[in-house]
Amino acid sequence: MFLKIVMNDVRRKKIISATVLVFITMAVVLGSSATNIIANLMQSIAQLKTHAVPSDLTQMHIGPYDQAAVDRLVATLGEHIAEQETMFLLNIEGSDIHFGANRTMVDTVQDISFVVQNRKFDFILDLDNRKLEIKAGEVAVPIYFMKTYSLNLGDVLRVESRGFRKEFVISDYARDFEMNSALASSKRFVINQADYDEMLAHQVGDMEYLIEFKLHEHGDLRTVRNAYRKAGLPSNGPTIEGKLFSLFNALSDAAVVMVIVLISLLLVVVASLCIRLTFLATIDEDLREIGVMKALGISRKDIRNVYLTKYKIVAAVAGVIGYGLSFLVVRAFNGNMRLYLSSDLSGSLQYVLSLVAPIAIYLIIVLYCRSVLGRIDAISATEALRSDIMQRGKHRKYRFPLLKNRFLGTSTYMGLRDVAIRIKLYRLLFFIFIVCTFIAILPLNVFNTMNSPKFSTYMGIGQCDVRIDLRKTDTITADFERLLAELENDSDIEKHAAYITCSYPAMTADGRWEYIIIETGDFSVFPLQYLEGEAPSDAGEISLSFAQASADGLDKKIGDTVVVQVGGVDKQLKVSGIYQDITNGGKTAKAGSSLGLQHDAILWYMVNLDIAPHADVSAKMAHYQSTYASAQVNGIKEYARQTMGNIIRQMGAIVIGGLAIAIVVMVLITALFLKMLLSKDMSQIAIMRSIGLSTRQIERQYMAGTMVVLLPGIILGVLAADYLGEILVSMAMSSMGAASIRFVGIAWQTWLVYPLLIIVVVGITLSLSCKVAVAEDLSVVLRS
């Protein structure tokens, strides 16, 4: 019986009912997909870490190596160290790796290492997060290389070096928690032990060691690090703490994940706004109907039943449809993410998780219904029949009389005063516009920031054309002198600066000596973007990386003094500035050349240079690359493109995705909102038409009303994406260990193109949905 009344009601108000249904369905789809995606991503990251078991401390080393000495240290630090394992990397030149039709990997800035899977921890995984087990003759290739060189499973890689030749069939993707990110400068290819031994026997590649430590849960990283240094164990290379891998991931893949999570959360907000909107739009009508029922003497219980049944049915139908649709959305989305994170919510969990949204929405709707029913007791039946709930509180002063209007056309004025009168309703639309604009602009800001030349200075790289790194060999010092002499006399080199990095003992805040990496040289030639303060001038100053200055490092502020031992002598250095650096473990320092070198602890040499405008850059680079055997010559643009390229591409996809989502949501909501508003106002519109207003004039009213909400909404959305977004992203970043990020906005995009695009699209939607029906006879509405 109730069902029959309800069905009649639905049939009578087709447009409103359909719109309410679509709105709630949309809310369910958004909410369901968002919870599903968030749960999926969170779980994937956690699972990846669980399966990969990354190391807590890794010392990279090139040169003579003595495992027994390391074992002795581990024995004395049993209370801190849980496991130790050394991975033997065979570093192979990109030019020695051949694939496809005569191509090699010569142009990569990444170091390529062939390794055998670890036994204890730091595992390299396949796409299903399983530990890779590679058969002889096969190789698992890092995702980064699979993408960069568009490789496919089954393709053949050929290693050709010093007369040795071997072919490998690509059998799997290698997902490497520690080195997944393009920001990590090397990548590990996994092969079988037999193949590895064969290459080793033929002296293919250079040996590098990853001396890895897994600590106990309460093991102290600092103690282990210092004991290691004190013991004089192999340390020719950077020391990397486990946290850095998270940071790398945070700045690359995880940045993408975070933006997606943020968008999902915002979509949940939009969904709840939609539901509220639906109720506000229909409440008058509902109250009137309930009033009629009340006047007819129908009991409160029966009224309750009819009303609740109606919305329960709508919510249930919308829930089922939305629940189903959300899986399509999630599937499309996961297809794209699968490479980077295994998205493998086990079994029925995802079906359960996706239920959260529809159930929550169902409950919210029932709650709303109850609050509407609660109002019935507060007002009399005739009151419900006569007046408009939006303006209840009738002793309020009459606002916006028509004569107050001085400057606007009457239609425009009517539209604006409608916004003011039904502010509750329009306010929701306003919030939705803000949130959607935020969704569209925030990824753009992140993208532009990552894409900007300034961002490379976040990586601790000064702005220059080319950098030359000298790798540690027997002839390194002689090579370095020779290189500097040649650069000095090369007229094609506009300017250059040499930097030498050594490790020095420095006094920590709690009075202990700890080894830190200090780069010395002239930092005024290629200035770095400083977070605070400035580069060290030559005498008695030092600048610290953000991580080194933090409590986790030396714990210093600008103006503090750092005591450093050089050649056994204590030197007092004043902190002149703090910069962002994610290279070499993130904890670095810079000081003028006058600090002096720690000759027995020189780590590496680096030269930055700018090439004169008239010179041929690539020829110059090739010349230096071939003249100095130990040199690695990289163009900075290329370097940045390769390290940031992948993430920038992903972020680019999100920019498009975010914009698309925002626009689709805005278009749908705008269209539905107007449909609802127009059919709600049907009788008022008919009255206006009978007076003699043309449909154009009436449409102008609704256009003006919606536009006056849309424009400030978009402006506020852009502002929010600029300022609030920056704060949010900075917070996320600093929780991962990076310093604050400043957005590098591109004004014509954030302020012109994007907002304009949104305005145009929503404007078109508006003018299309703002159609007052003309075909019908006016009297049909007037008489009903």
Partner 1 sequence: MRTMLEARNIHKKIALGEDNVLHILRDVDLQIGEGEFVSIMGPSGSGKSTLLYTVSGMDRITSGSVVFMDQEISSLKEESLSKLRLDHMGFIFQDINLLKNLSLIDNIMFPALLEKHADKKAVHEKAKKLMEMTGIATLADNSITQASGGQLQRAGICRALINEPAMIFGDEPTGALDSKSAAEIMAILAQINNQGTTVMLVTHDMKVAAKTQRVLYMVDGCIVAQKHLGPYEESSDTLVDREQELMGWLVTNGF
Nearest-approach distance from CB 296 to partner 1, in angstroms: 19
Question: Structure tokens of 522?
Answer: 């002239």
Binding test (CB under 8 A) with partner 1, winner from 684, 724, 731, 771: 684
Strands (E), 93-228: 97-99, 103-104, 111-116, 124-125, 138-142, 156-161, 164-176, 186-191, 206-215
Distance CA 530, CA 532 (A): 5
Nearest-approach distance from CB 701 to partner 1, in angstroms: 11
Q: Alpha-carbon dihedral of residues 94, 464, 590, 540, nearest 10 degrees? A: 150
Binding test (CB under 8 A) with partner 1, winner from 403, 551, 569, 747: 403
Question: Structure tokens of 310?
Answer: 């109606």
Name every residue whose Cβ is closer than 8 Å to that of residue 39 and which is 6 or more positions away in sequence. 345, 349, 350, 353
Distance CA 160, CA 93 (A): 10
DSSP string, 27-84: HHHHHHHHHHHHHHHHHHHHHHHHHH---SEEEEE-S---HHHHHHHHHHTTTTEEEE
Distance CA 175, CA 51 (A): 11
> Measured from the CB atom, is 68 or 402 closer to partner 1?
402
Check residue 87 for interaction with partner 1 (CB under 8 A): no
Nearest-approach distance from CB 288 to partner 1, in angstroms: 12
Nearest-approach distance from CB 274 to partner 1, in angstroms: 25
Among 382, 369, 284, 364, which Cα is nearest to 319's? 364
> Measured from the CB atom, is 609 or 693 closer to partner 1?
693
Residue span binding partner 1 (CB under 8 A) among the ranges 256-264, 473-481, 551-559, 683-691 = 683-691
Nearest-approach distance from CB 428 to partner 1, in angstroms: 19
Nearest-approach distance from CB 437 to partner 1, in angstroms: 30
Question: Structure tokens of 116?
Answer: 């055998």
Distance CA 434, CA 712 (A): 8
> Measured from the CB atom, is 348 or 398 closer to partner 1?
398
Distance CA 377, CA 372 (A): 10
Nearest-approach distance from CB 284 to partner 1, in angstroms: 10
Check residue 410 for interaction with partner 1 (CB under 8 A): yes
Distance CA 421, CA 51 (A): 58
> Measured from the CB atom, is 150 or 694 closer to partner 1?
694
Check residue 408 for interaction with partner 1 (CB under 8 A): no
> Measured from the CB atom, is 601 or 773 closer to partner 1?
773
Q: In 3-state terms, what secondary structure has residue 697?
A: helix
Name every residue whose Cβ is closer than 8 Å to that of residue 515 and which is 6 or more positions away in sequence. 225, 226, 229, 503, 504, 505, 506
Distance CA 260, CA 755 (A): 21
Strands (E), 283-328: none
Nearest-approach distance from CB 684 to partner 1, in angstroms: 6
Residue span binding partner 1 (CB under 8 A) among the ranges 315-323, 407-415, 548-556, 738-746 = 407-415
Check residue 300 for interaction with partner 1 (CB under 8 A): no
> Measured from the CB atom, is 296 or 774 closer to partner 1?
774
> Measured from the CB atom, is 488 or 777 closer to partner 1?
777
Residue span binding partner 1 (CB under 8 A) among the ranges 49-57, 65-73, 329-337, 682-690 = 682-690
Per-residue H/E/C for 13-38: CHHHHHHHHHHHHHHHHHHHHHHHHH
Check residue 91 for interaction with partner 1 (CB under 8 A): no
Site for partner 1 in 693-752 (CB under 8 A): 693-697
Question: Structure tokens of 100?
Answer: 């496809």
Site for partner 1 in 235-254 (CB under 8 A): none
Nearest-approach distance from CB 4 to partner 1, in angstroms: 23
> Measured from the CB atom, is 537 or 690 closer to partner 1?
690
Distance CA 169, CA 171 (A): 6
Q: How many Cα atoms occupy the beta-carbon half-sphere of 441 within 13 Å?
A: 36
Size of the site for partner 1 (CB under 8 A): 33
Query: What kind and span of H or E run contains 148?
Result: helix 143-148
Check residue 391 for interaction with partner 1 (CB under 8 A): yes
Residue span binding partner 1 (CB under 8 A) among the ranges 68-76, 93-101, 398-406, 459-467 = 398-406
Check residue 774 for interaction with partner 1 (CB under 8 A): yes
DSSP category for residue 206 = E
Nearest-approach distance from CB 396 to partner 1, in angstroms: 9
Residue span binding partner 1 (CB under 8 A) among the ranges 200-208, 300-308, 635-643, 687-695 = 687-695
Among 709, 687, 679, which Cα is nearest to 281's? 679
Check residue 767 for interaction with partner 1 (CB under 8 A): no
Check residue 779 for interaction with partner 1 (CB under 8 A): yes
Check residue 783 for interaction with partner 1 (CB under 8 A): yes
Binding test (CB under 8 A) with partner 1, winner from 300, 386, 637, 771: 386
Nearest-approach distance from CB 292 to partner 1, in angstroms: 15
Site for partner 1 in 413-472 (CB under 8 A): 417-418, 421
Residue span binding partner 1 (CB under 8 A) among the ranges 78-86, 403-411, 477-485, 583-591 = 403-411
What Cα–Cα distance (Å) separates residue 519 from each residue in 221, 474, 527? Answer: 23, 21, 14
> Are the C-beta atoms of residues 28 and 355 closer than 8 Å to each other?
no
Check residue 380 for interaction with partner 1 (CB under 8 A): no
What type of residue sits at position 476? I
Q: CA angle, corner 376, sides to 375 and 381, nearest 5?
A: 140
> Measured from the CB atom, is 382 or 626 closer to partner 1?
382
Nearest-approach distance from CB 18 to partner 1, in angstroms: 23
Question: Structure tokens of 267?
Answer: 């979509």
> Measured from the CB atom, is 387 or 463 closer to partner 1?
387
Residue span binding partner 1 (CB under 8 A) among the ranges 209-217, 358-366, 387-395, 491-499 = 387-395
Site for partner 1 in 485-514 (CB under 8 A): none
DSSP category for residue 205 = S
Residue span binding partner 1 (CB under 8 A) among the ranges 129-137, 314-322, 404-412, 626-634 = 404-412
> Are the C-beta atoms of residues 717 and 441 closer than 8 Å to each other?
yes
Question: Structure tokens of 73?
Answer: 């240290």
Q: CA angle, corner 766, sides to 763 and 771, nearest 5?
A: 140
Residues linked to residue 160 through DSSP beta bridges, in sequence order:
165
Binding test (CB under 8 A) with partner 1, winner from 161, 309, 387, 740: 387
> Are the C-beta atoms of residues 23 and 274 closer than 8 Å to each other?
yes
Residue span binding partner 1 (CB under 8 A) among the ranges 142-150, 447-455, 621-629, 690-698 = 690-698
Check residue 689 for interaction with partner 1 (CB under 8 A): yes
Q: Please give the backbone phi and psi of residue 213, each rounded to the nearest 5 degrees, phi first.
A: -125, 135
Question: Structure tokens of 134?
Answer: 């590679």
Site mask for partner 1 (CB under 8 A), range 318-337, x = bound:
--------------------
Nearest-approach distance from CB 774 to partner 1, in angstroms: 5
Nearest-approach distance from CB 379 to partner 1, in angstroms: 13
Check residue 778 for interaction with partner 1 (CB under 8 A): yes
Site mask for partner 1 (CB under 8 A), range 349-378, x = bound:
------------------------------
Question: Structure tokens of 13?
Answer: 């108000």
Distance CA 85, CA 541 (A): 39
Binding test (CB under 8 A) with partner 1, winner from 1, 68, 402, 747: 402
Residues contributing to the site for partner 1 (CB under 8 A): 386-388, 391, 394, 398, 401-403, 409-411, 417-418, 421, 684, 687-697, 774, 777-779, 782-783
